[in-house]
Chains A and B, each alone.
Chain A
Amino acid sequence: MNIRPFQFFLWISLTLLAASPVRAQQNPPPDAATKNAVDEDEYAVAKIYDPLESFNRAMFKFNDGLYDYVFRPVSTGYVMVVPAPARRGLGNFFSNLRFPIRFVNSLLQGKLKRAGLETEKFVVNTLAGLGGFIRASDGVPALTDVPSEDLGQTLGVWGIHKGPYLVLPVFGPGSARDTVGLVGDYFLNPLHWDQLRNVDGHRWWWDTALQATDSINSLPGLLKLYDDEKKAALDPYVSVRSAYIQYRDAAVQQ
């Protein structure tokens, strides 16, 4: 298992976390206005800790080029070759496989009921959904809307500051806290457990092919989200940063 890039990010993130101010600069809720405030004061500008802005902006530009010249052609080709039902099935399969991430993090946050629902969902989708390819859990009302947990959220629930905003090459927007989370979740993902090694006739590229399929399969959806955000933005860097921070804050609150 090659974890060198992750070790690098872990090191960077921990250093940045240590250097960040102790007091959290949370997004004020949109309705934080005083009772008699006029309309214009209804929404305060969220203060985002971005001491690495020039590095982040350069990375943002780099990723933008990467998405346009590498990821987009791959994604377009993939969509042409693989029909929508197959893409959806694969998406369901890899999402079901990430069950340990959601289960362990629900437990780490003390959300026992959620951990139970996640287990139920995994069993239903694996058994009734042909190994996870069909989201059979949609037929069970209690399982249709279980908020997904990850390590970045767990650290947030534990009161750890999100640290500086950080745009990672390839991965895109993040924070120091979420980068540490990403590394932890990497080890909780069965795709990285080398389980295929026990199968007869195992070849080294089987794992790589599986991991690549997971990444490529999620590309069209991710690029659509990114494009929508960028298309609507007057300043794409500020817009994506604001969206990312709001999105993660909301996920921690859930």
Chain B
Amino acid sequence: MTPELNLFGKSGFQDQEVVSEFNKRIDLAAQNAARLKAERRQNEEAVSPKEESAELEKVLQGVKSKKKPKKKRRKKYSGHEIFSFVLSSAIIALVLWYFVLKKSIVSTVSEYLPRSFEVHQQNSDG
């Protein structure tokens, strides 16, 4: 067997125990690396749809068969929103009415004077 000598190890005489201790450490590190790699590979496999495990498929099927619970329909507008909309519409309508309709009423009144009003006018002229 070729002699082993690790300069990162203990100085002086390196008996087989020291070397084997380092071997153990290396083995442990290699095992850990292999485990990490295997885990990483498993994760990658889980992501790829082709290689899904049977168990995973079952779980997914189970999920598919269940009806999705109906989402609670959210009310589009709350009460105070509707009230404020109606109020603002009313205000706008009143403003319009004031500027457009009231003017026509005034002009109508001025064109067709009531008879009683005419009499009163004549009396005042005389």
Do they bind each other?
no
Measured CB to CB, the residues of A under 8 A from B are: none
Measured CB to CB, the residues of B under 8 A from A are: none
